[in-house]
Chain A
């Protein structure tokens, strides 16, 4: 393992963060805000620490898998650490724990916040907060891969370490093209949403911040009441459309936009994902209407937004679902566990794994009824390997075990059961809001510090798909 090569790659990541910090500084500087100096100093620190390894370490042509894993995990950790700098330097509600939580929540696109008064933040800091979503949404490593001159083998190693095996299933092309497609779709969606939100009446600042948060499936808003503060159905509809799109595999979206055959309409996973979401909306809307919580129109409006927001792991809110009937909360909680599709910007369990899980149940039943039959699981006529099925089953069990363990540990820190359970699944799923004290219009500030640290580990686990972090403990030279 070549430490110097790892350090050089971490330097690239710092430089990349430095660019966004500098843009945030410019916003603060021209706005005459108090966050200008914290942002400037953070940017300079990033640039200097990022440039330092480049003085000594020559460009490396190849990377080993172990080096790739360490670059990804250490890259995310260092990025989250650097992300805390502007927060702790600015002050306000940010203690070190709070700044770390906010930073991890931003980069992992979770969208959980510790802020009681978001609108008290200077615009530069709000932009930085949204930028962490934008950087983390597609993965800081992929951004670095697009920009940096890497050899083919290095690119493949880093791409494999950053993306899960299942995520690559819909990409039938080389590593460079995969990165190109991901970034093109990402920028395309962000730009389109920003323009549409501006047409719907939002100013440029709110539009771009909400686009960053939507396309990254993050959920940080510039307003205390999230999307509810705009009181605009058109804004909500635009955000809903982009939340759905951002939750779908980017390769399939690219194919759809470019008129290729393997598109979202032909993907059985996408069709089922949309169908499950539609059923969820109908169930929640009917319950809201029949329980007299809202009238017909509002029931459909709030149900659609909240279900899509949680199913895509975005976490925006247009109503306080904590006061809704328990049935609707259970449905919403299911979507918090299910998460969005692989190959999208979302984290957590991913719908594709649940899809494969149910397919493997069907396979087991068929094999029980016909002991001699050779049953192969297929998705869109493509056979799925046994190894991938096993991997999926282990992942789901591990995922459930981790959020159960976190729930237990949170209750040990005197957090109530509802808050502990929903906060655990909302953070490991990179969704954001939960129920109880951490509901859609609430925040995580009231939790004890130890709980915030636990949940931030959960967020990183969810983002890095657990195995990458666990792989660190099994690396051999």
Chain B
């Protein structure tokens, strides 16, 4: 037990400050981590999901372009296909540069492979060949390849969506971990305050009250003063000094 009143109060406040500093530091640490997690969430998953969506859209546009070619509308069809192809390749390149998840590389390799095969089918002339208006060729050969590529892109998107969900769940827990130290610190400080108030009353206010009572009831005929403060601190010293003083006054009066 700490002996001096000053040290007692200082130690009490030091503990109080420690808990606040620790809670604050841990909250800041967790919030900083949370910020990093949000950025990595966007970088790792969200961008690839957006690229996958662009690729799917491009594939659909390419499919429409091919149907136009089958109808013999060469110029309009080629224009749509070329724009969609460029958009697809651009998104694929972006996804390739943002491989962050396990198996993501394998998914991109599959997209590459199936898209190359798909592209090889429509790259060759369609208008003014036996393919023009050939719906059987479209369904049996081209559409199969189109679905295969689309499925590969969907798989990439699903992988990133799953990880996005997982990461956001982690983020929820992280935000909880950031807030909780503050809540616990608030509750602890309330408990601290109640206890501090109790201890100050019990060990400082009550003894001072007792001393005051003794001085108030001072009677030169009664030498039997006992306050029994119990602790070896400044109040105990004050008690001893008051008793000495009473003793001195009594002796002087006797003389």
Contacts and interface: CB of A to CB of B under 8 A. Distances in A.
B64 interface: no
A51 interface: yes
B198 to A, nearest CB: 7
B18 A48 contact: yes
B184 A54 contact: no
Contacts of A371: none
B19 A44 contact: yes
A91 interface: yes
B12 interface: yes
A3 B201 CA distance: 12
A37 B177 CA distance: 8
A45 B15 CA distance: 10
Contacts of B191: 49
A89 B176 CA distance: 7
B22 to A, nearest CB: 5
Interface string B6-20: 001001100100110
A48 B191 CA distance: 12
B15 A52 contact: yes
Contacts of B230: 58
B184 A4 contact: no
Given A55-B8, A56-B203, A48 B188 contact: yes
Given A4-B199, A38-B180, A41-B181, A52 B192 contact: yes
Contact of B1 (A40, A55, A85): A55
B188 A45 contact: yes
Interface in A83-130: 85, 88-92
A49 B12 CA distance: 10
A58 B177 CA distance: 37
A37 B199 contact: no
A195 interface: no
Given A48-B15, A48-B18, A55-B12, A91 B172 contact: yes
A205 B22 CA distance: 29
Contact of B202 (A4, A37, A41): A4
A34 interface: yes
A313 B173 CA distance: 34
A57 B199 contact: yes
A51 B18 CA distance: 12
Contacts of A89: 176-177, 180-181, 184
B27 to A, nearest CB: 10
B225 interface: no
B121 interface: no
Q: Is the interface of A mostly helix, strand, loop or mixed?
A: helix
B231 interface: yes
B159 interface: no
B30 interface: yes
A91 B30 CA distance: 14
Contacts of A58: 1, 230-231
Contact of A88 (B8, B180, B231): B180
A56 B202 CA distance: 10
A88 B184 CA distance: 10
Interface residues of B, number: 32
A202 interface: no
A37 B26 contact: yes
A183 interface: no
Contact of A56 (B12, B22, B30, B176): B12
Interface string B187-214: 0100110010011001100000000000
A53 interface: yes
Interface in B88-144: none
Interface string A296-330: 00000000000000000000000000000000000
Contacts of B184: 41, 45, 85, 89
Interface in B53-82: none
A61 to B, nearest CB: 12
Contacts of A85: 184
A52 B195 contact: yes
B173 A90 contact: yes
A364 interface: no
A459 B173 CA distance: 29
A7 interface: yes
Nearest to B5: A56
B176 A48 contact: no
A279 interface: no
Interface string B147-183: 0000000000000000000000010111011001100
Given A3-B198, A4-B202, A55 B173 contact: no
A57 B176 contact: no
Nearest to B200: A56
Contact of B195 (A38, A53, A90, A92): A53
Given A37-B30, A41-B26, A57 B180 contact: no
Interface of B: 1-2, 8, 11-12, 15, 18-19, 22-23, 26, 29-30, 170, 172-174, 176-177, 180-181, 184, 188, 191-192, 195, 198-199, 202-203, 230-231
Given A55-B12, A88-B180, 20 more contacts: A4-B198, A4-B199, A7-B198, A34-B174, A38-B180, A41-B26, A41-B180, A41-B181, A41-B184, A44-B22, A51-B15, A56-B202, A57-B199, A58-B1, A89-B176, A89-B180, A89-B181, A90-B173, A91-B176, A92-B173
28 contacts: A3-B202, A7-B198, A34-B174, A34-B177, A37-B26, A37-B29, A38-B177, A38-B180, A40-B26, A41-B184, A44-B22, A45-B184, A45-B188, A49-B188, A52-B12, A52-B192, A56-B202, A56-B203, A57-B1, A57-B199, A58-B230, A58-B231, A59-B1, A89-B177, A90-B173, A91-B172, A91-B173, A91-B177
7 closest Cβ contacts across the A-B interface?
A91-B173, A56-B199, A89-B180, A91-B176, A55-B11, A48-B15, A58-B1
